[in-house]
Chain A
Amino acid sequence: LNAVPGRAPRQRVRFLPAPAPGGGGAVELVAARVPVLADHPLVRGPRFRKLKIGAGHRLDVKASGVFVLGIGHGNKLLTDLYNCHLTKVYTVGGLFGKATDDFSDTGNLVEKTTFDHITREKLERILAVIQGTNQKALLMYSNIDMKTQEAYELAVKGLIRPMGKSPPVITAVRCLQFALPEFQLEIHCLHETQQHLRKMVHEIGLELKSSAVCTQVRRIRDGVFTVDDALPRTQWNLQSIQEAIRNCQLKVETELEKTLG
């Protein structure tokens, strides 16, 4: 960033003494446009000494995926995006047959169970019920009075969401792949933590009269930012970052306008 040529130094008019054309030691003031010394790079120093980078929603050590960072003014936009309470989408991979103490496959083993009685149909039934109870939670934590006409209208459009602090709520779940003992789910959620998603996998295992551990948690969408917008490790350089910010600017603005007005 500091290597990028900066602004040209400011110019100002100074009346500098110059020898008079007549000669003999007389000094005349001549107007001259000179660069301001205070703008000289050796005086000013490097333009950027530190950058304010803020992080968006947390992603813990064992998870992977889209992680939103804000630079400079982006920090203020991050706060606004947080107040929009948009949903995040995760792909969660699970494995039947084991139960561990921290619900992931690297934890200490608690129990091993059989899983040959599990079918995709049973799993989808459980997912339907999880979606149902969380739908109720969505309406309850949104703190809208259920007896009003506007609550009814928002519920019809599906726009009721908790707009403040709330426990984790799952808006949609579906099973992407199912090959015993592994399975993969796509989860749309709000105000969640990755450990809560791992716990959910564990509870799905219990509900199916077996046990399950979570092998992978990957965030594929965080509000308006998807995996396509995200930069992999090899592209963490200035040009790609600037381009990515430019591409997402419009999306972020429209979303903020729509939700916060």
Chain B
Amino acid sequence: QDGGGLREAMVGVARRLLLRRGLGVAAGPPNTRQLREAEEAAPVFQYAGKAARRKDRVFVWGFSYSGALGVPSFVRPDAGWKKPRRIQPTPYRLETEEKISSAACGYGFTLLASRTRDITKVWGMGLNKDSQLGFQRSRRDQTKGYEYVLEPSPIPLPLEKPQQTRVLQVSCGRAHSLVLTDSEGVFTMGNNSYGQCGRKVVEDEIYSGSHLIHQLKEFDSRVVQVVCGQDHSLFRTKKGTVYACGWGADGQTGLGHYNITSVPTKLHGDIAGVNIIQVSSYGDCCLAVSDEGDVFGWGNSEYLQLASVTETTQVNVPRHLPFKIGKIKEAACGGTGNVVLTEEGNVFVWGYGILGKGPNLIETAMPEMIPPSLFGWSDFSPDIRVAHVRCGLSQFAALTNRGELFVWGKNLRGCLGTGRMEDQYFPWRVTVPGEVVDVACGVDHMVSMVRSFT
């Protein structure tokens, strides 16, 4: 027994020696002290430091075959396993080189603009059959231009001071586009068959592959907002006056006649002397909001957009719309329906089509309010307000102060971004991985500017 005891003692000593040299491993489950020590000794990873900034991103969705989404692999797959994607039903991130401050969706094309001082300030993608994206030199034939631009390509603007001027805003119509700069006026390009580019109409002009970008400078003060309707253009100046040019057969130029205008001309009517703070148009109807909260309208009224003041279907002079819904902050015009946002944060719709109050409301001449509970307002979160409203041709979009995007209307080729192909009869959230700062609606696609969460 003594021998056995001695051997045990020697084994014990040997084991302790092994442990001390770090060659032996303790048997059995780790006890609490060992777990705590292991936890404290574990390395700490840092994924974002204190100076991490939120990133600005661009998301696109809708019909992609025109190239308007700016993702070439949707149209021409660059890998064998990829299939052409005709419709992008949910928001898809678009990589851009610069932070995009303004975006506009036209009829099958998109313009993105940045406030940078670099040479390249505006990028365009999509349909270019009327040079609405400027001249995009084709690589196969140096004399011709691309008819479809599948990727965001820089648009060369003939600036006098390209490294000082900033682009403030862009706007797109059916086949023309406008670029607003801070010190060099407005640049227009694209189709000019109705004078919508603000220059004289040239008969039988070929717009495809044209290098011509016209510059407009003659306004009574600096232009602060440009808006494109389907075939006409509206300019709002700092003094609160509105200028228009382009097609006028529905009275959308508001100049008192139904002819085309090829030079931007000042509007009078009910907005003479009124300080207009916002103008909006996308189809053939136009709305203007004054600083006192009144709304004025002119243009097409076939869909009861202006039926509150007149029975005629075309109004060619701006008329005040006497709505008793409160002070109006923002207005947006679509093809057949209009939407306004009041100071309290309520959204009112009128016109024809899917207006956002269920399938039973198809048309109305007087504004109807969309209940705020549909935008996320509830007793649990009572401080949610709608901050902006936007309109596409047959769809509407609303942005809340929490950065959520709600859409409703006709879901043409997946332009709503909900992931489903059905029309949406009341406001529905679009899941975007970030806080939506601004959204631009087109006919069959949408572009949104988003800031990431962290």
Contacts and interface: CB of A to CB of B under 8 A. Distances in A.
Given A135-B376, A156-B373, A156-B374, A210 B47 contact: yes
B81 interface: no
B376 A152 contact: no
B38 interface: yes
Contact of B46 (A114, A136, A148): A114
Nearest to A114: B46
Interface in A74-124: 97, 109, 111-114, 116-117, 122
Contact of B360 (A109, A122, A126, A149): A149
Given A122-B453, A149-B359, A209-B454, A113 B429 contact: no
A208 B44 contact: no
B423 interface: yes
Contacts of A116: 50
B322 interface: no
Contacts of A152: 357-359, 425-426
A129 B381 CA distance: 13
Interface string B430-448: 0101010000000000000
A113 B50 contact: no
B42 interface: yes
Interface size class of A (residues with CB under 8 A): 35 or more
Interface string A174-216: 1000000000000010000000000000000001111000000
A74 B373 CA distance: 36
Interface residues of B, number: 38
B380 A172 contact: yes
A164 interface: no
Interface in A117-160: 117, 122, 125-126, 128-129, 131-133, 135-136, 139, 146-149, 151-153, 155-158
Nearest to B426: A152
Given A132-B431, A157-B373, A146 B424 contact: yes
Contacts of A148: 358-359
Nearest to B370: A156
Given A112-B42, A147-B422, 6 more contacts: A125-B435, A136-B431, A149-B360, A156-B371, A156-B374, A208-B453
B76 interface: no
A33 to B, nearest CB: 64
10 contacts: A112-B45, A113-B44, A114-B49, A125-B435, A129-B433, A133-B431, A152-B357, A152-B358, A156-B373, A209-B454
